[in-house]
Amino acid sequence: MAARGANPFVPAGPVRTHLLRLQRQGVGLRSISEACDVARSQLSDFRSGKRNRLTKAVADRILAVTFDCAKDWVLIPADKPLRQLAELRAEGFKAYELAAMIGQPNSNAPQVGKNGRKVTTVAMAGRVDRIWRKYMTVNGVTK
């Protein structure tokens, strides 16, 4: 197979691995497609193995997509935010104070899980993480 000048074909294996990793983290094909300007159908083909090669430029654009591209409403595992809230409670914060800080002032306690499952939205996890970093770290180092 001949290279195409400055934009040769490369194997799709690393792209497939990256797409699967992003999807395990809650980033959907639509978000990935918007971030790298590659059609969802192509991303689906790379993920499934239907396409086994792509140009280096397209591969670089896909590999540049990170978890930060997840939409705010995407559900992710709540393990980390719940752990962070427990650490803040252990430091003496009241549940109603934490609820107000994360944007749920009418609640008695932070409702991070959704529908009884331990999941939360990207936006909620981000709010909890910002609060945790503000009170639980000194110069970027955990207390």
pLDDT in tens, 113-127: 656 677 788 788 888
Task: Please report whether residue 128 resides in a domain.
Answer: yes
User: Does residue 138 share a domain with residue 79?
Assistant: yes
User: Does residue 83 share a domain with residue 132?
Assistant: yes
Predicted TM-score of the model (pTM): 0.55
pLDDT of residue 1: 47
pLDDT of residue 84: 93
Task: Please report whether residue 87 resides in a domain.
Answer: yes
Task: Please report whether residue 2 resides in a domain.
Answer: no
> Distances from the Cα of 97 to the Cαs of 10, 43, 102, 113, 121, in angstroms?
52, 43, 9, 18, 20
Mean pLDDT over 114-141 rounds to 79
* Count of structural domains within the chain: 2
Give the domain extent around 21: 9-69
pLDDT at 139 over 70: no
Mean pLDDT over 97-116 rounds to 72
